[in-house]
Amino acid sequence: MTETYGTPTPDTDTVELRMDARPENLVLARLALGGVAARSTLGDDVVADLKLAVTEACTNAIEHAYAGDPGSNEIVIRFALDDDTLAVEVQDWGSGFDAEAEPAPEEELRDHAGVGLMLIRSLTDELTIESGGAGSTVSFAKRLRPPR
C-alpha cells in the first residue's frame, strides 16, 4: 500500500466480507482470500499460509470476542491487494483483550492462549492488533516482493 498500512488507496483493490461469527463460516473467509490472492503473484504455499492466518484471526474472534453467543454477532474481513502487498483485516465488536499481555507459559500450554496470534505473526510480514471495549481488529499483511 502506498500510504498507511491498512488504509486503502486508489491503487488498492479491496474486498469486504461480512459474516455471522460462526465456525461453519470460516470457509467463506478462506475462499475470499483465495479469490483475492489469485490476482497476486503469491505462490500456493504462501496463500495456504495466509488462509491459515485468516482462519486463526476469525477463530479468535468467534471463540473469544463473542464467547457464549457467537452466532448472533458479526465479523468483518477486509482483503486489500495492491502492487506490493496483500493485507487482511479481521474486525469484531466483542469484548476486547490486552494485546500486549503475554500469557504465562503454563496458561499458554493449557489454554492455547496466544498461539493463534503467534502463528499469524510467524506466517506474515506485518501484524497489528488493536483492541478495546468496542472490539478488536487484527491486521496482517504479506509483501508480494521484497521491500525497496
Question: What pTM was computed for the model?
Answer: 0.81
Domain for residue 6, yes or no? Answer: no
Residue 8 pLDDT more than 80?
A: no
Domain for residue 8, yes or no? Answer: no
d(CA 80, CA 89): 9
65-111 pLDDT per residue, tens:
887 665 668 999 999 999 999 999 999 998 877 666 554 455 544 45
Domain for residue 60, yes or no? Answer: yes
Alpha helices in the chain (DSSP H): 26-37, 44-60, 105-111, 115-123
Give the number of domains in the chain: 1
Domain for residue 132, yes or no? Answer: yes
Domain for residue 92, yes or no? Answer: yes
Q: The domain that contains 36 carries what CATH number?
A: 3.30.565.10
Q: Which residues constitute the domain of residue 41?
A: 13-143
